[in-house]
Structure 1
Amino acid sequence: MLKPLIPQGEALRRAFEWLAEQGPCTLGTVEQASLRFDLNPRDEEFLLRQFVYHRGASSDTPFSGRRRTSG
């Protein structure tokens, strides 16, 4: 049986809830949450995995998670 996803740590929990309320999540909103809730890099990476990489997101930055090739 799968357990519900509950992040550890008060700041991460608050950031997770805030992002869930924001609507479509982007790399920029995850970065904003990281700054707003003073998250460490590990917690920011957790949010990126949950909201951007797993669920998919429209990107508001040039980074797409893939390397660009010239040509």
Structure 2
Amino acid sequence: MTTVMPQSELTRKAIKWICESMEKSGEAPLNKMIEQAAARFNLSPLDVEFLQRFFREQGKG
């Protein structure tokens, strides 16, 4: 039986997965990682935009 998760929880899991994957793979392209996370966690286009903004802001800081 599948568990229904709030969308914000899926976004948090996607961020964690992307960060862990980037640590393991080194210089993987961020856009590629976001695309993979979107498919893996069934994210909406708005969630994908949020991830792109989130990681862009992290890069500036």
Structure with the larger helix share: 2
Q: Percent of aligned pairs with the same residue? A: 40
Runs of 4+ in 1 over 2 A off after TM superposition: none
Aligned length: 48
Match of 1:22 in 2: 21
Larger Rg: 1 or 2? 1
Unaligned runs of 5+ in 2: 1-6
Structure 1 residue matching 2:42: 3-state secondary structure: coil
Q: Higher RCO, 1 or 2 (CA under 8 Å, sep at least 6)?
A: 2
Could you tell me how far 1:22 is from its partner in structure 2?
1.5
Q: Which runs of 5+ in 1 are unaligned?
A: 1-7, 57-71
Q: With the length of structure 1 as denominator, give the TM-score of the two structures.
A: 0.58
RMSD: 1.9
What TM-score does the superposition give when structure 2 sets the normalisation length? 0.66
